[in-house]
C-alpha cells in the first residue's frame, strides 16, 4: 500500500502543491494542524500508525521531510522507527529515501540523515549551554535558588505532570526508551522512574 501524507498548519492553507499525481496512491492523508504535534498524534497521522500496525503500509510519500515530525529530533526518530519496520519513506524535498527499489538502505540518504543527526545533537547542546548560562547569570544576581532541599513530588504528583503523562503514553504505544528520550526529550532515568512509579501505584491499588 502506497500512502501520500502531507500537513499544513491552518485550514486556510492550500495543500495542492504538496499533492502531485494523487491517483498513484492508495490513500492521500492530509492534516491541518500545528507541526508541534507529533506525527502519530495528529488526526490522520494516527491513521499511518494504524496501517503500520496492520502490516499494510509499504511506502510512505511526503512532500518534505519536516512533515514527519515537529523538530529534527522527532523527524529522525520517526525515520528510524519506520525504517526498522520496513516501511519505505520517499521524500520529495529534499530527495531522500530510506530504502531503495531493491529493498536496501539508500546510502546517500543514510549520509544525509547522519548529518541531520549531528546537527540535531549540536542543536541540543546549544540549548543546554544556553540553559546553563542562564542559570549562571541568575546565580550571580542571587535570583537562582535551585530545588529546595528535601522537597520531592509524591508518586501521584509525579504522574500528573504533563511530561510524565507523555512518557507513559509513549510507553503504552510500545516506544523504546531511546525513542521516548528523543521525542520528549528527557533522560532514560526519568522514563524508568515514571514507569516504576506507575507500576508501584498499580500494585498498591490492586
Q: For the segment 37-83, what is each residue's pLDDT rounded down to a tens digit?
A: 888 888 898 899 899 889 899 999 998 887 887 777 778 888 888 88
pLDDT, one tens digit per residue, over 114-154 is: 777 666 666 667 777 877 887 777 777 776 555 554 556 78
Does an H or E element contain 59, and which? strand 59-64
Answer yes or no: pTM beyond 0.75.
Answer: no
115, three cell numbers: 548529518
Q: Give me the residue label for grid cell 528510524.
A: 80
**Of 93, 60, 98, which is closest to residue 76 (Cα–Cα)?**
98
pLDDT score at 168: 93
| Domain segments of the chain as ranges | 2-111, 150-206
Q: How confident is the model at residue 12 (pLDDT cuts 50, 70, 90)?
A: low
What homologous superfamily does CATH list for 2-111?
Answer: Resolvase, N-terminal catalytic domain (3.40.50.1390)
Total count of residues recorded for the chain:
206
Amino acid at each position: 500500500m502506497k500512502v501520500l501524507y502531507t500537513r499544513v498548519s491552518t485550514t486556510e492553507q492550500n495543500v495542492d502543491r504538496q499533492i502531485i499525481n494523487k491517483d498513484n496512491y492508495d490513500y492521500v492523508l492530509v492534516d491541518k494542524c500545528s507541526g508541534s504535534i507529533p506525527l502519530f498524534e495528529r488526526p490522520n497521522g494516527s491513521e499511518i500508525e494504524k496501517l503500520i500496525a496492520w502490516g499494510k503500509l509499504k511506502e510512505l510519500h511526503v512532500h518534505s521531510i519536516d512533515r514527519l515530525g515537529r523538530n529534527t529530533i522527532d523527524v529522525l526518530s520517526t525515520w528510524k522507527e519506520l525504517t526498522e519496520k520496513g516501511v519505505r519513506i520517499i521524500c520529495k524535498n529534499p530527495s531522500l529515501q530510506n530504502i531503495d527499489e531493491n529493498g536496501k538502505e539508500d546510502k546517500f540518504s543514510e549520509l544525509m540523515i547522519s548529518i541531520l543527526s549531528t546537527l540535531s545533537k549540536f542543536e541540543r547542546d546549544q540549548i543546554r549551554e544556553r540553559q546553563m548560562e542562564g542559570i549562571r547569570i541568575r546565580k550571580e544576581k542571587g535570583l537562582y535558588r535551585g530545588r529546595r532541599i528535601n522537597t520531592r513530588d509524591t508518586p501521584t504528583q509525579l504522574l500528573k505532570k504533563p511530561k510524565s503523562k507523555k512518557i507513559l503514553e509513549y510507553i503504552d504505544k510500545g516506544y523504546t526508551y531511546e525513542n521516548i528520550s528523543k521525542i520528549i526529550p528527557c533522560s532514560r532515568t526519568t522514563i524508568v522512574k515514571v514507569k516504576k512509579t506507575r507500576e508501584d501505584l498499580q500494585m498498591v491499588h490492586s
